[in-house]
Amino acid sequence: MATVCHRLEPYSSAIPVTQPRVVIVGAGHAGGTAAALLRQFGHEGPITLLGEEPLPPYQRPPLSKAWLKGEAGAEDLFLKGDGFYTQHGIDLRLSTRVEAIDRSGSAVVLEGGERLPYERLILAAGARPRRLPLPGAELEGVLELRNAADAERLKSALGPGRRLAVIGGGYIGLEVAASARALGAEVVVLEREHRLLPRVAGQDLSGFFCAYHGARGVDCRMGAAVAALERSGGAIAAVRLSNGSSIDCDLALVGVGAQPNLELAQAAGLDCADGVIVDIEARTSDPAIYAIGDVTWRPLPLYDRMFRLESVPNALEQARQAAASICGRPAPVPEVPWFWSDQYDLKLQIAGLSFDPDRIVIRGDVSSARFATFHLKDRRVLCVEAVNAPAEFMGGRLLIGRRAEVDPERLADSAVSMKEVAA
């Protein structure tokens, strides 16, 4: 993630307007939730929800997990049922791309030139996959995974005996690897760093996932820097590494991280870092404009720093912050950030963030795939990574929120319950 940018003091409060006209840019998890929460909190003014995708707001997590494996249907993805937006007077406009924000005229400009006035704007434009700046990245069979259309392409390309090269050993890459194995594909994961999940997990968890995938037939190669994608006709045929070796494949999934969709905010002159800079009420440097979800560079009060999070709980928390602020409600209490990932029969739940830990405590039995790693600093829990260990996740989350000191020996001892550790 990019450099830390300090913006921990609140931006100036919103200008009071009763029941303002709200326009939301981006009909994803954050935007869809904000629209629903505004109504739930009693907002009676007009709400327009603009999304460039052809689908109403849907959940992305199943696209690499249950949906990809065929265990969930398309209808299970939608945030709200048929008719919700009409019933609640939310003007949902799909396949509608916003081209610009005209701050001086308080309007957004749509593709085609139509102008929509706003009194409050919520920017919920999300993020997009990083592209590989490599020869062959445009070949047929080189895929990415962010939206439902990407997922359709991936699903139709997978099947028994298909050879998939996953470029990037992050969460999305590993989830796709697990799902592809369930569909009978042969899978190689190529990670440039020397462990899986290098940016987002501790060493112990990385090692565990590497062994777990390996035991299920996934060939995980570390230190594997991709130099080029090789073709057969117009389609991918192999991935060439910088050490000169080649891995033959029928398709490649590029999962090398995401970048925030910042262009609208930058062109409109909003303060930005590695995301649109917001305060604890999701307000940007313009008091009439909020930003929520993956697109933001947000305060983390528990860690006294700014950061960009890419998770559903973050999208939900910031949607709540923006809706509460627009409705004149008190700011919600800051939450402990959390995240989950499902791979094979593993349920990974992570709470908190591991900024400069000075001690790692492992609790439970790694070999039985039921354990948690706690990242501590000055005896306080910064982060817990819990594998099939919901009590450890819940207990850890509580400890992080309380900034409570713990006894590392008791924390490591599974005979002492998490309740007792947290007491």
- Among the candidate windows 80-88, 225-233, 337-345, 409-417, which touches ligand FAD by CB under 6 A? 337-345
DSSP assignment of 34-67:
HHHHHHHTT--S-EEEE-SSSS-SB-SGGGGTTT
- When the beta carbons of 319 and 418 are compared against ligand FAD, the nearer one is 319
Determine if 97 is a binding residue for ligand FAD (CB under 6 A): yes
Residue 97: CB minimum distance to ligand FAD, A: 4
Which candidate, 156, 186, 149, places its Cα nearest to that of 53?
149
Selected binder of ligand FAD within 49, 98, 252, 272 (CB under 6 A): 98
Which 257-316 positions form the footprint of ligand FAD (CB under 6 A)? 261, 264, 293-295, 310-313, 315
The strand ranges marked E within 209-358 are 219-221, 226-232, 235-241, 246-248, 251-254, 258-260, 276-277, 289-291, 296-300, 305-307, 338-343, 346-352
Residue 257: CB minimum distance to ligand FAD, A: 11
Residue 392: CB minimum distance to ligand FAD, A: 18
By beta-carbon distance, which residue lies closest to ligand FAD? Answer: 28
Q: Please tell me the distance from the alpha carbon of residue 103 to that of residue 121, in angstroms, as a whole number.
A: 10
- When the beta carbons of 86 and 95 are compared against ligand FAD, the nearer one is 95
Residue 100: CB minimum distance to ligand FAD, A: 9
Q: Please tell me the distance from the alpha carbon of residue 43 to that of residue 49, in angstroms, as a whole number.
A: 14
* Sheet with 235-241, side-by-side order of all strands: 226-232, 235-241, 246-248
- When the beta carbons of 239 and 316 are compared against ligand FAD, the nearer one is 316
State which H helix or E strand residue 154 sits in: helix 148-157
Determine if 254 is a binding residue for ligand FAD (CB under 6 A): no
Contact between 165 and 239 under an 8 Å Cβ cutoff? The reply is yes
Residue 279: CB minimum distance to ligand FAD, A: 17
Residue 78: CB minimum distance to ligand FAD, A: 13
Can you tell me which residue has the tokens 């009060």? 301
Selected binder of ligand FAD within 39, 43, 60, 213 (CB under 6 A): 60
Which candidate, 404, 314, 362, places its Cα nearest to that of 61?
314
- Among the candidate windows 11-19, 49-57, 79-87, 280-288, which touches ligand FAD by CB under 6 A? 49-57
Residue 176: CB minimum distance to ligand FAD, A: 8
Determine if 78 is a binding residue for ligand FAD (CB under 6 A): no
Which candidate, 124, 62, 48, places its Cα nearest to that of 319?
124
Q: What is the CA radius of gyration of the chain?
A: 22
Residue 390: CB minimum distance to ligand FAD, A: 16
- The DSSP 8-state label assigned to residue 72 in this structure reads S
Q: Please tell me the distance from the alpha carbon of residue 121 to that of residue 101, in angstroms, as a whole number.
A: 9
Q: Please tell me the distance from the alpha carbon of residue 346 to that of residue 362, in angstroms, as a whole number.
A: 17
- Among the candidate windows 47-55, 220-228, 349-357, 360-368, which touches ligand FAD by CB under 6 A? 47-55
Determine if 255 is a binding residue for ligand FAD (CB under 6 A): no
Determine if 352 is a binding residue for ligand FAD (CB under 6 A): no
Residue 129: CB minimum distance to ligand FAD, A: 8
Residue 259: CB minimum distance to ligand FAD, A: 12
Determine if 64 is a binding residue for ligand FAD (CB under 6 A): yes
- Specify whether the backbone of 340 is left (phi greater than 0), alpha (psi in -120 to 50) or beta: beta
User: Site for ligand FAD (CB under 6 A): how many residues?
Assistant: 36
Contact between 233 and 146 under an 8 Å Cβ cutoff? The reply is no
Q: Please tell me the distance from the alpha carbon of residue 332 to that of residue 225, in angstroms, as a whole number.
A: 44
- When the beta carbons of 341 and 373 are compared against ligand FAD, the nearer one is 341
What's the length of the chain? 423
What b/e sequence results for 194-203 when a residue is b if at least 16 CB atoms lie within 10 Å of its CB, and e otherwise? Answer: ebbbbebbbe
Determine if 31 is a binding residue for ligand FAD (CB under 6 A): yes
Binding mask 157-196 for ligand FAD (x = CB under 6 A): ---------------x------------------------
Instruction: Note the residues at the interface with ligand FAD (CB under 6 A).
Output: 25-31, 50-53, 60-61, 63-64, 97-98, 124-126, 145-146, 172, 261, 264, 293-295, 310-313, 315, 339-341
